[in-house]
């Protein structure tokens, strides 16, 4: 009886880790601006985002990340406006795939000092410029879709957020 060749089992697919984040925006006169922050390690432009926290709802986690990472408060959407994937390097050097569910946050207040203010920069950009600055293609597309959606709605507020 001839030996039968068997295929080697496929390597396990890497588990996708969940995160929650916000696209902070404001209306200034006739345009939408997006706030981006720098990552701690590479200094590239990103949105505030973070890991799940216990049983806290995703929307509340996203709101907390906006406050901790960028000092922002405002009206957050009830449902995510989309999601994007990216590769995150962990402290131990491992790289994991993350899926970030993103909520729109209309910024009402911007703190002068916030928990990570010494670790990150934050800056408002015209929406088109923000799209050009982020690296993740899915995030670029998500901001573009959000921008078109916001442009269809009537402005709720105008001007700069009030500092605390």
Each of the 164 residues of the chain gets a pLDDT tens digit; together they read 555 556 666 666 668 999 999 999 999 988 999 999 999 888 999 999 999 999 999 999 999 999 999 999 999 999 999 999 999 888 898 899 999 999 999 999 999 999 999 999 999 999 999 999 999 999 999 999 999 999 887 555 444 544 44
CB burial readout 67-98, b (16+ within 10 A) else e: bbbbbbbbebbeebbbbbebeeeeeeeeeeeb
Do the Cβ atoms of 127 and 31 come closer than 8 Å? Answer: yes
Chain center to CA of 131: 12
3-state secondary structure of 103: strand
Chain center to CA of 106: 14
Q: Does the domain formed by 16-153 have CATH 3.90.79.10?
A: yes
Q: What is the pTM of this model?
A: 0.84
């Amino acid at each position: 009886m001839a030996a039968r060749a068997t295929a080697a089992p496929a390597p396990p697919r890497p588990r996708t880790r969940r995160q929650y984040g916000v696209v902070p925006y404001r209306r200034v006169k006739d345009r939408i601006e997006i706030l981006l922050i720098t990552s701690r390690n590479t200094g590239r432009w990103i949105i505030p985002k973070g890991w799940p926290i216990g049983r806290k709802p995703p929307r509340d986690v996203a709101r907390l990340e906006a406050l901790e990472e960028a000092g922002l408060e405002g009206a957050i959407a009830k449902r995510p406006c989309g999601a994007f994937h990216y590769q995150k390097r962990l402290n131990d050097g491992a790289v994991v795939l993350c899926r970030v569910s993103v909520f729109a946050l209309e910024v009402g207040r911007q703190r002068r000092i916030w928990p990570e203010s010494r670790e990150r920069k934050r800056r408002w950009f015209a929406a088109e410029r923000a799209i050009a600055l982020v690296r993740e293609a899915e995030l670029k597309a998500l901001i573009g879709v959000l921008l078109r959606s916001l442009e269809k709605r009537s402005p709720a507020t105008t001007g700069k957020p009030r500092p605390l």
